[in-house]
Amino acid sequence: MDEIKERFERLIRQLKRQFNKNKKTKNKSKNKNRKHPQPGLKKKRPRPTEQVEPKSEKPRVRPRPKEEIVGISKPINKKRKKRKLTKEEVERLRKKKRQDSIIEIIKFMLPVVVFAIFVFFFILNTSPHMVDGDSMKPTLLNGDRVIVRRTKEPRRYEIITFKPPVKSEFQYVKRVIGMPGDLVWTEGSDLFINHQAESLPKVSELSAASELPDGTIKVNLSEDSLDQMSKLKKIPKGHYFVLGDNRNNSSDSRTFGLVDGLAIEGVVSFRFAPFNNVGWIK
């Protein structure tokens, strides 16, 4: 009985082995059929429109080590509080602003001044002159600097500069009162000038102020000037009778007589100094 059992168990083992071998061979044949396609069948190539774009792989970013991440500090955006300026600092800022504004004004005015000087001295044929004395107060003061036009002929009541007929280191500045052709006559030490009358008044009318022709000017002369003017009936051509605006403190034609036109430098037209009194002269 024992031998029969052993044989039966051997047969079962052999059958199991045989069954397992058959399974393995079937699986292998299936895999071979999948890998190797049947002959005669061709794979279809994809059309150009159907070409599949290769998938772009994203670059892998390696994480930084913890030590580096810990070492980086983010910038802290904190608004700084404005410090209040002291009085001294405020004054310094104001002075700086004033200096900058003055420099800007100078930069702007410098070319204008240079151009004006060029025009006055070269185009208009002018020259500078400094007033000496108080004979032209209040029109011109001592130390005023003026521009004289040398090419302009003087007119009545204009201010001129000239070389006086007396010894002097400076040129005089006076106002023209008598022009060439004006009627003149004397009575005692007084001189009468009239540019409106066509003839001299009668002798009986000379002393009466109410009978004098309109526009008559009366001045008192020195002996030298009286000696010259008493011989004339009209101011001769090219000569002028001048007076200072400050009659009580002026040496003019009342002292030295008529001024020759050749001695006249020009007509005062503009005052350029001092700066607080710049302007045209009338």
Give Cβ neighbours of residue 214 (< 8 Å, ≥ 6 apart). 196
Give Cβ neighbours of residue 148 (< 8 Å, ≥ 6 apart). 126, 127, 128, 129, 161, 265, 266, 267, 268, 269
- The SS3 of residue 119 is helix
| Catalytic residue chosen out of the listed positions 44, 168, 174, 251 | 174
Does residue 174 carry a catalytic annotation? yes
Does residue 55 carry a catalytic annotation? no
Instruction: Please work out, in degrees rounded to the nearest 5, the angle formed at the alpha carbon of residue 184 by the alpha carbons of 181 and 190.
Output: 155
CB 125 within 8 A of CB 151: yes
Strand partners, 173: 161
Residue with tokens 């040398």: 150
Asked if omega into 37 is within 30° of 0 (cis), the reply is no
251: left (phi over 0), alpha (psi -120 to 50) or beta: beta
| Catalytic residue chosen out of the listed positions 135, 250, 253, 269 | 135
Q: Looking at the annotation, which residues are catalytic?
A: 135, 174
